[in-house]
Structure 1
Amino acid sequence: MAIETGAKYAENLSLIERSQAGDDAATEELIRRNAGLVQSIAVKFCGRGTEFEDLVQIGNIGMLKAIRSFDAARGCVFSTYAVPLIFGEIRRFLRDDGLIKVCRPQKKLGAMLMRAKEEYLAQNGTSPRIDEIAAACGVSPEEAAAALSAVSPAMSLSEPLGGEGENFTLENTLCKEDENEKMLEKITLAEALSKLPELWRRIVLLRYFKDLSQQSTAEILGLSQVKVSREEKKLIEFLRRELSS
């Protein structure tokens, strides 16, 4: 897993400040520059029934959350802060589908880190920083963050996912209230979704299952908001036809 150098940290910090001020170009650049970090985490979950590219897109949701909530004043470098959010986003997605299994080495490291954390707290009366317990266990802060994320309890499924006030459900978008029962009796939504091309499937995942805005979806997919809007209209029309047939 890549370690964030001083130069990269300074570059990230400048872009984060611009992104948090509403600069969409800075957000896109941050996602691009930190793609290797997301990929290095996503690859750990390959072979569990989900395509690597899908894992990367889910990981990018965690990266987007990290960009929005990072506070340099806390004394943590951005990559260390982002790792548990990226890791956790993928983990929650796979746990929802019953696909995740934490490997023995991660469990062992996680337990070691937790013991180091408890010992530090007992000796100093305060909770340690992630880099302090990582050093005590001889691993990088990023590796420590990933291991702790792997063994910690799953976060609530009701946790806000960054939908920026939007509250859509795919069923309500596709069907009028009085048509839902009839359409769902004819064909399941899952069957219709399985026929979508890859881009449309990812838009559905981010917009309706992760409840992200069109702008956030565009940033993660590397597209314009206008492109996402157009593709969303096309896929909804396609699903309407499938559900009505």
Structure 2
Amino acid sequence: MSPDKLYEENETLLRAAQNGDLDARSKVYEVNIGLVYMVLERFKGSSYEYEDLFQVGSIGLLKAIDKFDFSYNVRFSTYAVPMIIGEIKKFLRDDGIVKVQRGLKETYSKVRWAQDKLRGSLGRDPAISEIAGLLEIEKEEILQAIEACQSPAYMYDVMPGTGEEKEQLSLIDKLANDEGNILMLEQMALREALGKLEAREREVVLRRFFKDETQHLIAQDLGVSQVQISRIEKAALAKLKGMLA
């Protein structure tokens, strides 16, 4: 079945599940359970049993099925992955299991200092690239420190309204109401999917589409033919499309 057909079938089942069809709910769960396995890869360092985390991740998936809002105009996987991650992080946080490396804490302290300094001079919140320039640190290292040290917000934690927004909204509502943040959700799902690729497939995709390198250059570096790089790229993209469908 083509990815488009799978997407349409998933959406039909989701609507039926939200209308009380338990069989449809079970089918949506089975079709998308791979998202839980995908997310669990990033929690391998946890001291909890894999089965325990799987159960928690499954709860996140079921919540995503029940709460998915079609008006967000994002694929279910894009919505569900942050929900599953949030459920597991909340579980770990509540049990005090999350440990942050000292180096990440030190980097995060520098990031907070740079944010305050740049906010004062720019009159606005600085971009990651501006923080990286001031600290002379790679953007990826800054993002890793922020992700590790900030309290992971649960997708349905209620946040107070600001300015003219008097109504309290959950984090997922705020994300969904911002076009740029929908892109962020999609990027989170993509990052999780990239982590499931084989090492060479991931390297080719990152270099081709994130560093804008040619197949010829990558082939030279890896000591293979350009035809082989093309095949690796096509296979990797097919896998990503399947995971994100």
Normalised by the length of structure 2, the TM-score is 0.44
Normalised by the length of structure 1, the TM-score is 0.44
